[in-house]
Amino acid sequence: MNFEPTLFVVDDDEAMRRSLKWLLETLRLPLQTFGSAEAFLEGYRGEPGVLILDVRMPGMSGLELLERLAESHPSLPAILLTAHGDVPMAVRAMRVGAFDFVQKPYNGQALLERVQAATGEARRRHQRQDERDSAAARLESLTPRECEVLELVAAGEPNKRIARELGISLRTVEVHRHNLMEKLDAHSVGDVIRLYLSATNGTP
């Protein structure tokens, strides 16, 4: 399925927003602009995309916005636009999940390249989230006993140990394993483990 991430520009400088809008429109992606971090939070509905964010703004700063998003929307890659003196702040922002930072005055082509890299990351994160959602939906089809067997299979336990752990026969374990693999559309134990880890955020 094709997925086009939305570009979100947040900058309190109207002239800068217009300049960024003109530049980013060349990428032919959905684009929204906001004059403050507060306006972005009010208008943002959780759409996947890329955030192009000024660090220093009146009210909520770019860093404060990023720290809030790290809790509620960690899958949104952010590029920070910083003045020279803001570099330490940008480094701090990257520690809480920023994708990259670009110093002002920025080179238009260089910024486009960083945004394109961030859109690639947004697509990968979107795909991973789709896979997690699909895996979680499949897990919901399992019975409580099948879930217990699955957890032990994912832990690497052999059938005999699973049978002892759950107090059931070896044959019953084999039946549960067969049924859960069918429900999960898994063709091997490796498939089962990957799906389980994906659904439970056990993998990046």
| Structural contact between residues 194 and 204, judged by C-beta atoms closer than 8 angstroms | no
**Residue 130 CA: distances (Å) to CA of 8, 23, 84, 135:** 21, 30, 38, 9
- pLDDT tens for the 204 residues of the chain, in order: 456 899 999 999 999 999 999 999 999 999 999 999 999 999 998 888 999 999 889 999 888 898 888 877 777 899 998 877 677 777 777 777 789 888 888 899 999 999 999 999 988 888 887 778 888 888 888 999 999 999 998 888 999 999 999 999 999 999 999 999 899 888 888 888 888 887 776 543
195 shares a domain with 98: no
Burial of 109 (0-12, 13-18, 19+ CB in 10 A): exposed
User: End-to-end alpha-carbon separation of the chain, Å?
Assistant: 22
149 found inside a domain: yes
Q: What share of the chain is helix, strand, coil (3-state, %, to 5)?
A: 60, 10, 30
The tally of domains found in the chain comes to 2
pTM of the model: 0.70
Write out the DSSP string of 135-186.
Answer: HHHHHTTS-HHHHHHHHHHHTT--HHHHHHHHT--HHHHHHHHHHHHHHTT-
Range of the domain at 164: 141-199
| Structural contact between residues 52 and 79, judged by C-beta atoms closer than 8 angstroms | yes
18 shares a domain with 102: yes
- What is the pLDDT, as a whole number, of residue 193? 84
125 shares a domain with 159: no
| Structural contact between residues 36 and 14, judged by C-beta atoms closer than 8 angstroms | no
